[in-house]
Amino acid sequence: MHLLFSFRESSKDVRLLWISVFLRMASFGLTNQVLTLFLKSLDVSETNIGLFMTLTLVGDTIISYLLTWHADKIGRRLVMIIGALMMFVSGAVFSVSSHFVVLLIAAILGVISPSGDETGPFKSVEEASIAHLTPHVHRPEVFAFYGLFATAGAAIGSLISGVTVDYCHLQLEWDLNQCYRAVFMVYTIIALLKFGVMLFLSVNCEVQFNSNDSINSASAPTTETSSLLDDSDIQEDLTQEVHNENTFGLLGLSGLSSTARFYLPKFLVIFMLDSMGYGFMPSAWVVYYFKMAFAISATGLGTLFFFTNAIDSASSLPSAYLAKTLGPTRAMVFTQAPSAVFFILISISSNYIVASTLLILHCATSTMDVVPRQVLLTSVMPSTDLTKVMGIVNVAKTFARCIGPVFTGKLAEHNHLYVGFLINGICILTADLLLGINFFHLDKDILRKQSVLI
């Protein structure tokens, strides 16, 4: 089975990066369950909670840009070590402080995730490192395991958070604010574990280390020619390329290759639209919606989101099969569209069983687009551009996600939080339509690239 073969063939560094994303997403799963409720316990209004989330995402965007754009110069390992230390400091601040501005600064610097998933620069660096360490023929499976460990971490974090809050509140008789702070203490412990793991990464992760090039050459050329397309493909729209080059030059991003400059704007429009929709109903607000609408206990919430994240985790593996069978673009569209419909239907569900079932169905399909997206980007973009391109994409997605939370806070304050589900679904369906129009034709070439025998 190729999935198991890819697992066995993965290097020590790839496996350390799997552990890294597991720990980081476990910490995000922890804080995602309590962030909104913690701020509410400090008498922060729903509107200001939305503002907090928006400002956090804006700050994360700036930090992500600075770190990912210079990660290859600073060193990928050093960036990931710094990230673990930032997480530790942030968790410590949330454990003791009640000041809105202090918490906001800590959330930005420590990448406390208001959406329950990646908002900082470290995912970009990890993905670029994995692509650098993995030949094309193994990438769908390796990225599938990366997604599996990420969502498994989020699931376990959600469950631990719910159990911790209820144990401290019901058994130890702490007030809820103290219970939420206990969760942030666990966050600091996980950050220390992540720091220790990052110390064992080798120089193979760095872009300057090219021992894997001979392996990659079995499935595709290296450096700029390692992208999927040749110059004849790019010349389909020379005028647009010149415009993109001028635009990137004005932004100071002219160091990218011609292939990256040609395709990146299209990716950005699609992924930013998708991310903007997600920003209107991030996971922290979904937790809040289920808490307020159905009066669920902390353990009940933790259990629900444990199952949704566990299903997310399980769906990562078949997504690799879909990416190799249908092609990454079709795999993304055919999984995201149903997921968006399930999410929209939650807004009209007044029964907890129905709403939670729809949420589970949404989660069963929502992350099945992650591996195909990673395959699409790493197949099209030259290897020398991967860190910067991944960083630009994730920064742009985070920036787009900044728009929604402040409006969602207003909706929550006026008891119209369900509207966030509608906006989310409509944005994702529109992004899927644009994705299909622009990139369906690449699937054939990507599948041919992956079919090279090992």
- Cα–Cα distance measured from residue 191 to residue 185, given in angstroms and rounded to the nearest whole number: 10
- First and final CA of the chain: distance in angstroms? 13
- Cα–Cα distance measured from residue 134 to residue 450, given in angstroms and rounded to the nearest whole number: 12
**One pLDDT digit (tens) per residue for the chain, 454 residues:** 567 778 888 899 999 999 999 999 999 888 888 999 999 999 999 999 999 988 888 887 777 777 777 778 888 899 899 889 989 999 999 999 999 999 999 988 877 766 555 656 677 788 888 888 888 778 888 888 888 898 889 889 989 999 999 999 999 999 999 999 999 999 999 999 999 999 999 998 887 765 444 334 333 333 343 455 444 443 444 344 444 444 444 444 557 888 888 889 999 999 999 999 988 998 888 989 998 899 888 888 889 988 887 887 777 778 878 888 888 999 999 999 999 999 999 999 999 999 999 999 998 888 788 788 888 888 888 877 877 887 788 778 878 888 888 899 899 989 899 999 999 999 999 999 999 999 998 888 888 876 644 4
123 is written with which tokens? 């995912």
Q: What is the pLDDT of residue 401?
A: 85
The position carrying tokens 């922060």 is 44
Neighbours of 234 (CB within 10 A): 18
403: helix, coil or strand?
A: helix
Look up residue 169 and give its DSSP letter.
I
Q: What is the pLDDT of residue 219?
A: 38
- Cα–Cα distance measured from residue 103 to residue 56, given in angstroms and rounded to the nearest whole number: 10
Q: What is the pLDDT of residue 314?
A: 76
- Cα–Cα distances in angstroms (integers) from residue 162 to residues 1, 111, 350, in the given order: 37, 21, 23
- Cα–Cα distance measured from residue 298 to residue 162, given in angstroms and rounded to the nearest whole number: 5
pTM: 0.71
Of residues 178, 181, 156, 160, the one with CA closest to residue 169: 178
b or e along 353-378 (b: 16 or more beta carbons within 10 Å of the residue's beta carbon)? eebbebbbbbbbbbbbbbbbbbbbbb
Helix 100-109 crosses helix 46-69 at what angle (to 10 degrees)?
Answer: 30
Q: Which domains does the chain have, with CATH numbers?
A: 12-201+231-450 (1.20.1250.20)
